[in-house]
Amino acid sequence: MTSSPLHLDLPLPPPSDTTGHYIRLLTFSDGRWSLEVAPLASTQYKALSYVWGDSSNPLTIQCNGVQLQVTRNLYWALQHLSVEFVNERLWIDAICIDQNEAAPEKGQQLDLMGEIYTQAEEVLIWLTESFLPDNANLCFQACKSYAVKWRQKELAMRFLAALTMTVVTMDENTNLNRIHNAATAAALREDTSFTDDIVVGLLQILRHPYWSRVWVIQEMTLASRSRILTSKCTLDWDDFKIFILTMEQCLPWFLRGMGPNFRALDETTRLQRDNQPRVFYSLSHLLVQFRWSCAKNNRDKVYGLIGLLRPDERRFFMDDLPGPKYAVSTAQCYTHIAFKILQQSQDLRLLVQCSSPSFIKRDDDLPSWVPNWQYDSECLPRPRWDLTEGNPYNRTGDVRPALYNAYNASGDSECPPPQLRDNSILILYGMIAGKITAVCRPMEIHHLFVGHRTPRGVLKLTARASQADTFQRLNNGIIRSVLSTRTGLLMLAITYFENCLRKGAAMGILLEYADLALSDGTWLGDRSETNPLYAMFETLMKGPRGVEMVDSLFTDYPNETFIVEAIAQFHTQARSIRWNPFLRLLRLVGPFYYYPSAYHLLLGINFFGMGKVPHYLLCWIGLQTAAIVFTNFVLESTIASYLVTAVGGYLLNSKLSYVLGMPYRLDTVLATPLDQALARLDDGRLALVPHDTKVDDDVALLAGGRSPFVVRREYCNRFRLVGDCYVDGIMQGEAWREWKVSEMEFM
């Protein structure tokens, strides 16, 4: 892209000691747009935050008498701004910055983005109309009325807490969470705004492409005040944030499963505005928190977060970048940033991010030790039939770094200062702890449970619900809602059989894991349990600490007998599979090898109902249908819903929850090792390894690293990093030997 005459006629003066940096500002006055240069520090203006959208079919505006092409999204935003913000100074990046990437101005102005949004008196969030629900105005009104009640209750709870001194012994975050939970429960008891239609509409707003943009993070975090704009209505961001906070408290698993990381965005903006002085974050933390955000330019996955760092950190990361910002390649940018993070922290936790999901092809231009930040939420596979598994990587995003901190595989060793050779080879120190001799198939995203994108009658904001509670609502609500529509029964059948296929495939892999664990030579260590399945399940859950953390996400109350219960359920499944005549017939006559989908479908049906589902599911559907046809109140009556569900559950021999995927222990185990596989080392130890691990790969312990890593030897002491892993029995330094440590080069 070349510089436009508009920007060539309005060059930006160099910064001065008296006025500081300069920016361009846009104004609509006397029926036309005009652009001017103004000092950043002493000028009042509003900044626009929006989605650029498709640039292949632009529209034209007149500015300073010069024709300028803009995207359609920006064009319609300008139409609205020309009516509502006459004579107001506006900063809009696509117009106020020369977009010529070869010119130095773009990089210089992007360096000021953090300051530009901090100095703005208000940030205007423009949501494109085409992605909004028809009842967007009613949705915004519901958020406004609920926010008023919530603030009243929150103020009352703060006063009550201070008066009774009931939370003084808690830390500040615990106090705040307890107050927010109490305020939410009290406000929801009085507020009736969130009807089914409103909640479905708000979920559509949450799926707007705007929220997935990486630039949104600093634009909203640094703003002193933000307001959401559409062509018909407005909503203060703080009011909308209260709805997000309520979703996080009431339905955390649903909100965390959406594409954008709303929980991280809410936390970032809340801490930024509620605390003084300003809160700063480490770049590695931000890159992990928002790795699923979207950017048209892959380098912006890094540049879009730099503005949230302290000024000295910004200089540390960007001053010695090998060339102008947008002149360096994506691989050069990511490699430079990764080495700078390792150099600054002298901590190897960044290497945990080097293993990409199984549906992402590794970028050959990137060194193996450099995380690939290019993929985003738009890369997630889309299930058939308008079903969705959401974004499971956001759901468990907090577990992986926390588990890393719980390990100490390299003992008390410290990470020496990392070195970089030839701009791409990382020098670390470590030892080889074992070799992979067997590896099974990995669990992947298409093995996870799927549901309806916007199930009506299920997502009621009434009280906090764990994942188990959410699935109970799915059991009670989805069938009633889908059967009340003309195509509901068909969608129910599609959802059921799709999940049977997925669970069956996952169960087939779990049976492979069990065969590996039960084979001769599996290392059991000094644990009291001599059943190899115990070692297998503990490895799949990444140890006792992993069991505790993951189970708390699913149920809110970790169970000390989790693995014992999982083994018991596995034995029940194995017995039912052994005596299932259809599965035995498939294995006997051979179609299993040629038509694995048929085998997986039967395996999934067996998994959900121990073989009883095909008969009793029809009975249960019949009961639900009869209740809907002959009574109207069943759709609203909780008592009637529970009555019908109880009868159906009795007919299914207490296995009703399996029909729609209630997260029993075995479900939790199947969902935990996402993009990982069970493997065995040459000494018999079981390990949970990255999905692309191969036989003869090595397991390395790196000085200063808390977890082992799978590495692939190229030659001599030169390796490629495959990813982090969990190895039974060596996670607390049992295998670390200082005298074995040597230099290791990673390509």
Written as one string, the DSSP assignment of 31-86 is: TEEEEEEEESTT---EEEE------SS-EEEEETTEEEEE-HHHHHHHHHHHHHST
Q: What is the pTM of this model?
A: 0.83
Neighbour-count burial for 490-519, b at 16+ CB within 10 Å, e otherwise: ebbebbbebbbbbbbbbbbbbbebbebbee
- Dig out the tokens for 62 from the structure: 């007149």
Stretch 68-94: mean pLDDT: 89
Task: End-to-end CA distance of the chain: give it in Å, rounded.
Answer: 35
- Please count the residues of the chain: 747
Q: C-alpha distances in angstroms, 703 versus 297, 323, 418, 716, 733?
A: 35, 32, 11, 19, 11
Q: Which amino acid is at 113?
A: M
Q: Is the pLDDT of residue 375 over 70?
A: yes
Reported confidence tier of residue 513, pLDDT bands at 50, 70, 90: very high
Q: C-alpha distances in angstroms, 657 versus 257, 490, 672?
A: 21, 20, 19
Reported confidence tier of residue 390, pLDDT bands at 50, 70, 90: low
Q: Any residues with CB less than 8 A from the CB of 469 and at least 6 apart, and which?
A: none
DSSP-based three-state secondary structure for 723: strand
Please give the pLDDT value at position 702: 93
Q: Is the pLDDT of residue 408 over 80?
A: yes
φ/ψ of 269, rounded to 5, equals -70, -35
Q: Is the pLDDT of residue 326 over 70?
A: yes
Q: How many CB atoms lie within 10 A of CB 459?
A: 23
Please give the pLDDT value at position 382: 73
Q: Which residue's entry shows tokens 């669970």?
A: 503
Q: How many CB atoms lie within 10 A of CB 69?
A: 13
Of 32-41, 123-132, 141-150, 581-590, the poorest mean pLDDT is in 581-590
- Tens digit of pLDDT for each residue in 544-568? 777 777 766 655 555 667 888 888 8
Stretch 605-611: mean pLDDT: 62
Per mean pLDDT, which of 73-82, 598-607, 615-624 is the most reliable?
A: 73-82
Q: C-alpha distances in angstroms, 23 versus 44, 113, 123, 188, 381?
A: 12, 10, 16, 45, 41
Q: Is the pLDDT of residue 720 over 80?
A: yes
- Tens digit of pLDDT for each residue in 223-258? 888 899 988 889 898 888 888 877 777 766 666 666
Compare 592 and 312 and report the one with higher pLDDT: 312
Q: Is the pLDDT of residue 647 over 50?
A: no
DSSP-based three-state secondary structure for 88: coil
Please give the pLDDT value at position 588: 66
Stretch 415-419: mean pLDDT: 88
Please give the pLDDT value at position 413: 87
Please give the pLDDT value at position 174: 59
CB 480 within 8 A of CB 457: yes
Q: Is the pLDDT of residue 263 over 90?
A: no
CB 46 within 8 A of CB 219: no
Of 74-78, 183-187, 289-293, the poorest mean pLDDT is in 183-187
Q: Which amino acid is at 608?
A: F
Reported confidence tier of residue 368, pLDDT bands at 50, 70, 90: very high
Give the whole-angstrom CA distance, residue 292 versus residue 212. 8
Of 99-113, 317-331, 602-616, the poorest mean pLDDT is in 602-616
CB 350 within 8 A of CB 341: yes
Reported confidence tier of residue 644, pLDDT bands at 50, 70, 90: very low
Give the whole-angstrom CA distance, residue 645 versus residue 662. 14
Cα-Cα-Cα-Cα torsion 392, 397, 399, 403, nearest 10 degrees, comes to 120
Stretch 423-439: mean pLDDT: 93
Please give the pLDDT value at position 55: 76
- Tens digit of pLDDT for each residue in 669-696? 887 888 899 999 999 999 999 999 999 9
Give one DSSP letter per residue of 620-644, joined into a string. Answer: HHHHHHHHHHH-SGGGT-HHHHHHH
Q: C-alpha distances in angstroms, 418 versus 89, 432, 744, 745?
A: 48, 19, 11, 11
Q: Is the pLDDT of residue 416 over 80?
A: yes
| Percentage of the residues of the chain whose pLDDT score is greater than 70 | 73
Please give the pLDDT value at position 161: 66
Give the whole-angstrom CA distance, residue 289 versus residue 281. 11
Stretch 173-191: mean pLDDT: 70
Please give the pLDDT value at position 188: 74
Compare 374 and 191 and report the one with higher pLDDT: 374
Stretch 38-61: mean pLDDT: 85
Maximum Cα interatomic distance, the chain, rounded to a whole number of Å: 86
Please give the pLDDT value at position 275: 46
Q: Is the pLDDT of residue 386 over 70?
A: no
| Selection from 392, 398, 355 nearest residue 377 by Cα | 392
Q: What is the mean pLDDT of the chain?
A: 77
Q: C-alpha distances in angstroms, 284 versus 93, 338, 351, 537?
A: 26, 9, 11, 31
- Dig out the tokens for 76 from the structure: 């319609």
Q: Is the peptide bond before 581 cis (omega within 30 degrees of 0)?
A: no
Compare 68 and 495 and report the one with higher pLDDT: 68
φ/ψ of 68, rounded to 5, equals -135, 130
Name the β-bridge partners of 33: 28, 63
Q: Is the pLDDT of residue 40 over 70?
A: yes
Q: Is the pLDDT of residue 611 over 70?
A: no
Stretch 617-629: mean pLDDT: 45
Please give the pLDDT value at position 659: 37
DSSP-based three-state secondary structure for 539: helix
Please give the pLDDT value at position 450: 67
| Selection from 376, 369, 374 nearest residue 393 by Cα | 376
* Burial environment of residue 589 by CB neighbours within 10 A (0 to 12, 13 to 18, 19 or more): exposed
Compare 456 and 328 and report the one with higher pLDDT: 328
Compare 659 and 461 and report the one with higher pLDDT: 461
Please give the pLDDT value at position 466: 46
Q: Return the DSSP state at 528.
A: S
Compare 734 and 618 and report the one with higher pLDDT: 734
CA R_g for the chain: 28
Please give the pLDDT value at position 431: 93
Stretch 9-22: mean pLDDT: 82
Compare 110 and 427 and report the one with higher pLDDT: 427
Neighbour-count burial for 412-428, b at 16+ CB within 10 Å, e otherwise: ebebeebebeeebebeb
SS (HEC) of 249-273: HHCHHHHHCCCCCHHHHHHHHHHHH
Please give the pLDDT value at position 21: 85
Stretch 660-666: mean pLDDT: 54
Give the whole-angstrom CA distance, residue 23 versus residue 42. 11
Find the helix packing angle between 543-555 and 467-483, rounded to 10°: 40
Please give the pLDDT value at position 557: 52
Task: HSE, CB side, 13 Å, CA atoms: give it for residue 579.
Answer: 8
Stretch 504-519: mean pLDDT: 89
DSSP-based three-state secondary structure for 518: helix
Of 326-335, 402-411, 650-659, the poorest mean pLDDT is in 650-659
Q: Is the pLDDT of residue 615 over 80?
A: no
Please give the pLDDT value at position 169: 45
Per mean pLDDT, which of 256-270, 488-502, 503-517 is the most reliable?
A: 503-517
SS (HEC) of 385-424: CCEECCCHHHHCCCHHHHHHHHCCCCCCCCCCCCEEECCC
